[in-house]
Amino acid sequence: MRPPILSNKRFSEPAVFTPENLLREARRQKSLPRASVPSVCLLDPDGDIVRWLVGTQGIEPDPAWACYHTELYTFRYQGMGFGIIGCAVGASFAVLVAEELFASGCELLISVTSAGQILPMGAPPYFVLIEKALRDEGTSYHYLPPADFSHIAPELLSMLGGALAQAPVTVHRGAVWTTDAPFRETKTAIAHARDLGILAVEMEAAALYAFAQARQKAVICFAHVTNQMAQAGDDFEKGVDGGSRDALRLVVLAARAWRARRPRSSESHRKA
Domains of the chain: 34-260 (3.40.50.1580)
Instruction: In whole angstroms, give the CA distance from residue 237 to residue 255.
Output: 26
Least Cα distance to 66 among 20, 23, 33 occurs for 23
- Show the CA angle centred on residue 258, arms to residues 257 and 263, nearest 5°: 105
Residues with Cβ < 8 Å from 228, sequence gap 6 or more?
116, 117, 124, 235
- Give the largest CA-CA distance in the chain: 55
CA angle 28, 31, 32 (to 5 degrees): 95
User: What is the predicted pLDDT for the residue at 230?
Assistant: 67
Low-confidence ranges of the chain (pLDDT < 70): 230-233, 235, 263-272
What per-residue confidence (pLDDT) applies to 117?
95
Calculate ∠ Cα 84-177-244, nearest 5°: 30
Cβ count near 189 (within 10 Å): 16
Q: What does the radius of gyration of the chain's CA atoms come to, in whole angstroms?
A: 18
Asked if 175 contacts 197 with a C-beta cutoff of 8 angstroms, the reply is yes
pTM above threshold 0.75: yes
Query: Residue 1's pLDDT is what?
Result: 79
How close are the terminal C-alpha atoms of the chain, in Å?
48
pLDDT of residue 99: 98
Backbone dihedral region for residue 138 (phi beyond 0: left; psi -120 to 50: alpha; all else: beta): alpha
The pLDDT of residue 34 is 94
C-beta separation of 251 from 61 below 8 A? no
For residue 141, the model assigns a pLDDT of: 98
